Structure 1
């Protein structure tokens, strides 16, 4: 089977200047230390450089390409800037252009893949660092990152591939950033490849390319007309319908031969033909699950050609919470008594019991200390309201009578008040029965801290019974307490004081923050700049701290500022290499957001998901909120903005299993991550990979493909 004709190619290691390409602006080919140098840190600021390759396929329309190169984005300022772009289009200028494909000659209207290293965001629009894909000026996809562009003095491999389906896949440093993103059918004749770059007035870096290789294929038999729908293919509606149009080009598509697989199952699409255009459509019989990736494979033949061709698409439904509670939707989610300033959220904290599957939310129904205190019990799976715990014995007093709540490993529930006089009261419920009264387990002036210290805005627990420990810190000071149970029933605690010089400083901080135990004698703390600073907000780091006893000392193990400055309430789950935090916005026409990160490298977080809170932003002037991880969900409360529960579990690693059955190979892999598809190659070194288009059968969570073995060797892989 041949989808298209092999055509042009470009290859250069830049040991000599390529004859069929031109540099513009600050770009140069360095043949001494072979590289295409788009900008250099040594050249200072306000640079723009581009590299444009002559048309590789004169008179022909490119229907697919693969571009590989090695990229260096390092050195220069902190933060570095500004980025590069890879472009393909008919209006690529003979002039310098920037990382967005813009310059003195206008903006490129074709394909622009941007590697944006600098956050140029204004207000609440966090633009970079990120990857962006634009087609005809329309955003097809974006992917937030943190410091992954910072390669130092080294280089990382990059692969950009554009398929006959009109989709694009981007692999950066061996990590798949995008797979099968819908862009556009083939470009008109005369399209050219190129790179653009920029360093602005206050940031710069080396932006170098090595070992550039591009191969193309040209139109044969058919091409995709326009973009497959819906476009963009990421963040689609759960009730989306799907359509793709095929234009004859050298052969005549037969609509009666069209077959479709959707989510691994055979379905019946609608197919019709009008002149040279075949329209294929499909409407799923039910709503698509939020956050799901839905693979669509279309196969078809021709009335005047024996070939069978296929198209492959991945459509991702918008990320939506599994359940949410809007402000005012329940009596214990009341409005702030300071509606204009948003300074006194009446619900601030939540906790989860691993034993009962219950979620706990502490609330006040009035700002007056001691009035309307409730500890509310919810079903964590559904968010259903269950009952209230006893608050008999909760003492009035302090700035807030009861605020933070946490659950120890034995299911005991702890909560505390807030004071500004260097004291705190901590209560314990032995269980969450509505008849179990709380008892005071700690009520003392906290040792080692100033008399005006504020305590109780953050609380964490670990251990069980006599091994229970509690962790809390002081606002605006450097004091942290580790409280340890002193008896077998954990009814009394003693405090060990520590001084923690938070790397982000102690001035200009919001009350809202997060603190939690890490492994053994460690903790995490994350603070946020106060609301007095308008976005973009200076980032405050996630700090990982080790502590020792006798004497009580601390050591900073990591301080990472690679989260957006607007993110607070961050919690980490090292067992799953995940972190999640609340991005507090200021614009009242958009909602606050929960952002989820892959922290496989703790010093290099990578955003993998984002979820909106249930209403547009309501003022939460002190950035108060909390995030906790459950077994299958992440829960977040955002003061004045409600509660959400979102999926927690990343798909397990996808492994390709191969077994022989007679003269066939049986391939199988889990389908919990549906973006993978199989390829085969008859040779190794070099490989010659082609997509396996045999039907995929589904058995539970397993995809199965049977492939006939031919020749002496056959190699297989899964690709996203």
Structure 2
């Protein structure tokens, strides 16, 4: 292949130049010169620029714009035009002598002065020499006296006893200009560097520098960094960033970057400080194209270089057994030499990083007062992205992440929220999201006792829906929790403190989609837990108590209804004791519920009831009411009260409260029949417990209190549990943990025609007064329940004092 004054076109191939990261840097091929490229001089005579293993030094002249390349066999320095690679002649190399190669490497200072060095295998006996040309037309030796003009000649190792520290000329770098010119060279197999300075801009002296790197770590890759820093690399050695202490004669490693980041076969390197880019030339004996390339790395974080792109050298590919070559930056230009594989001339293309763009903007949201809300956004664009949330167009101090959380919403938080996302290319502000604060009922009806937050213990998690069943033991005051986190277990929790006490023995518990899912406790302290089945046999296990070591027995193992093909195990409630124990379960898919009864308190049979209600009415919430009544709830539907007749096998809906009275997305529930109190887990924004009075006003629910969870992790299955007992209410919101509340004393007055009025209270001392605001005095000997017969025409008022 012959080239005169025509550029080598980009068609000579830019291999593998695709970006490998979301970098802001690409490359444009200016030209490439394969190793077999031949050049012609002005007389059309061939010029041997390239030769086998003969090209190891290359540099760019920022003044002339030429690329200089050394042929160490002919001891010549050739000039190629930097913009197109055309041949521009030679530098006068008359005079250099000595060394294994008279000329091996070349570099150019910022003022266009050319420096080239020999290769010496022993600087103690064969001096290391640096030659200086004032420009490309100048001479390194005086044409009259034939004396070397400037440069250096001597032993940079200062007679070092280690022969590996006396080979110089495999690496050679120049920086600065004039009297500020600095030169550095490293010994090939040792750990000594030579640092050269000048006081007149012409003649140089050396300082021996000993590095803390291992011998051979600096042999073939060398580049100046910022200040007194420099970078080194050798085949099969780590890339190092080192700090130079000239006065102390030492170099200390700042960063040692493993070969998992910078490949072993990178040796020649160059650094572009303005762009924080390091170029590494991949060399070696392989003849595979991908193993002969120039890699670009982002060194904005010097401790963790990141690959930007890789560009292959042009075919044909040959082995580079000396693993030699060179690389040089000038502004946005990069020139790379791989011995025996030619030259690459590249232009760095800095693409403006993508500006921010929203993929999801915050939306309008309505939140109950006291509830928790998180506004969030997602955006694309070049990293790093910064965020600033605004309230009514005013920046919110500290709100600088992709989401903004208000842990307890009040009316003052109502308004318009937006978020501004910014990066180096600009900023964008979202549309306004309106936050509406809904009025809530927050009273002292329930006050927090303890919280078991997700992640506080291994069996209470923030995701996975692994806790769905919970019940209160009225005998021990403990809480029973089914968890499938890690392994399926029934955990016994202290109802007063929330401390986990132990696990029930689950030896032999198997079967179902989940071997255990829901749990209930009878009035005598017997524990019942069921599996979850999508059809076939429902299995219910019984433990005589929640004491450690109590073995499980099978209380029921059959299809709960006649179809035997539907899902059960999502809801469960237990009441009574011994032979009067009853277990209630609702179908997930049908309108059915089943009541299981026992003759011996150990094994149970089921009876199916099918009221005229929509399917799945008892899917996620079910509870016994007073007598032969039950309550049922499903997400997206109202609350139903059902009366069932075991003798007739019938069930009738006797009350319905639509979603205007109970929120739509609510599920788990429990009731205290004797006081007409219902607890409901609401999964509206944000998740909370609702306490209702269903006895005071016929056909209506009175909201008594709302108590909110401090987290609002997704509970997409709408599962959880509510359990009353011991003057407390416990709420499990799946993926959000458990909260226990103390209940205020409950007092209920019921008219019993012909027999006066019945007073029931949950705890405390019954007091009475003749006026509502008068002085209350204890009712001597009063126990709940108490029948009160009106005396005369006056009024009597009652209250309970804790």
TM-score band by shorter chain is 0.3 to 0.5
Larger Rg: 2
Please report the TM-score for the alignment, with normalisation by the length of structure 1: 0.43
Please report the TM-score for the alignment, with normalisation by the length of structure 2: 0.39
Q: Which has the higher strand share?
A: 1
Q: Larger relative CO (CA 8 A, sep 6+): 1 or 2?
A: 1
